[in-house]
């Protein structure tokens, strides 16, 4: 059985969205609750944090350098880690205190797909959005509480994402020319009470790795949704898994400390840490946003 180890005790309140930069050979991630973009260098152990005025749910690297950010009100661009924030496209969640962007991924054409979350759980009105390099924003789905786990199959013909409170991961047929989705179906339904699927990544064999929030583990699912492997972590709230390292065979897992009381934190003092373990099958390279 694989063993996860702590690589950085980052004390993340709500760590999310780890992405491996092959250009820099470092890992970037966010702490949504602290409005932070975090840069972690596994070679030196050094960490840098960039703070924003509002939460950053997820991000992608840009082809020309910098990042596209999915924030509370909508999308934004920065040209560098410290660069000024430039809103980009329609600010589709502006004025909605209960809605923010949460999780996303770039497709092979350089479009960014990001889902939202209803943070108050007041309505099933979260959905998946598509951002083009030109700044056009289109809502593709609705009817969810928390959109998570966005990832693409290696051939780019399947898009995955989950509605975390429903414990369900969905698959869609993906049309790569226009970026349209169709044929929604359940990829895997987890039982209630054993953890729920959060952030995810796909490896080169087309297997889907998902972090099980409140389940203390990450799970690898086959391309047809069968559980192939489980890796237990020393924390109950892993939030997302990403495959990185020089050969893309190091799994990095973020975690959260949010809403854990003193007793729970005493039992899991590493909550909010960044963990890793080796995998046999490498991950897929992150595609840069073309805008």
CATH superfamily assigned to domain 5-278:
TolB, C-terminal domain (2.120.10.30)
Specify the pLDDT at position 110.
98
Q: From the centroid of its chain, how far is CA 267?
A: 26
Cα–Cα dist 195/179, whole Å? 31
Q: Where are the domains of the chain?
A: 5-278
Q: Which residues in the chain come in under a pLDDT of 70?
A: none
Tell me: the pLDDT tens digits for 175-229?
A: 999 999 999 999 999 999 999 999 999 999 999 999 999 999 999 999 999 999 9
Q: What is the pLDDT of residue 122?
A: 86
Q: What is the pTM of this model?
A: 0.97
Residue 198 among the catalytic residues: yes
DSSP-assigned states of every residue in 187-233: EEEPPTTS-EEEEEEEBTTS-EEEEEETTTEEEEE-TTS-EEEEEE-
pLDDT at 95: 87
Catalytic residue among 31, 73, 103, 198: 198
Length of the chain: 291
What pLDDT is attached to residue 3?
Answer: 86
Instruction: Retrieve residue 16's tokens.
Output: 């999310």
Q: Shortest CA distance to 57 belongs to which of 104, 13, 94?
A: 104
Tokens of 291: 């805008």
| Per-residue pLDDT, 1 | 72
């Amino acid at each position: 059985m694989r063993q996860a180890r702590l690589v950085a005790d980052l004390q993340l309140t709500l760590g999310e969205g780890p992405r491996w930069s092959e250009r820099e050979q470092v890992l970037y991630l966010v702490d949504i609750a602290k409005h932070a973009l975090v840069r972690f260098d596994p070679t030196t152990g050094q960490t840098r944090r960039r703070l924003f005025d509002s939460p950053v749910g997820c991000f992608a690297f840009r082809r020309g350098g910098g990042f596209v950010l999915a924030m509370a009100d909508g999308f934004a661009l920065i040209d560098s880690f410290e660069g000024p924030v430039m809103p980009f496209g329609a600010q589709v969640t502006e004025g909605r205190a209960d809605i923010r962007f949460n999780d996303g991924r770039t497709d092979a054409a350089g479009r960014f797909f990001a889902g939202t979350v209803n943070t108050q759980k007041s309505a099933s009105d979260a959905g998946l959005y598509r951002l083009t390099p030109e700044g056009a924003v289109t809502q593709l789905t609705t009817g969810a509480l928390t959109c998570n786990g966005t990832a693409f199959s290696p051939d780019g013909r399947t898009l995955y994402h989950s509605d975390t409170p429903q414990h369900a991961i969905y698959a869609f047929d993906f049309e790569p020319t226009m970026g349209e989705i169709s044929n929604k179906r359940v990829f895997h339904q987890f039982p209630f009470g054993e953890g729920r699927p959060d952030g995810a990544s796909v490896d080169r064999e087309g297997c889907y790795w998902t972090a099980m929030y409140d389940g203390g583990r990450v799970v690898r699912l086959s391309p047809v949704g069968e559980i192939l492997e489980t890796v237990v972590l020393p924390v109950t709230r892993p939030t997302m898994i990403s495959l990185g390292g020089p050969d893309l065979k190091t799994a990095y897992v973020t975690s959260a400390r949010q809403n854990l009381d003193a007793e729970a934190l005493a039992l899991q003092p590493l909550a909010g840490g960044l963990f890793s373990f080796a995998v046999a099958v490498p991950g897929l390279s992150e595609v840069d946003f073309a805008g």
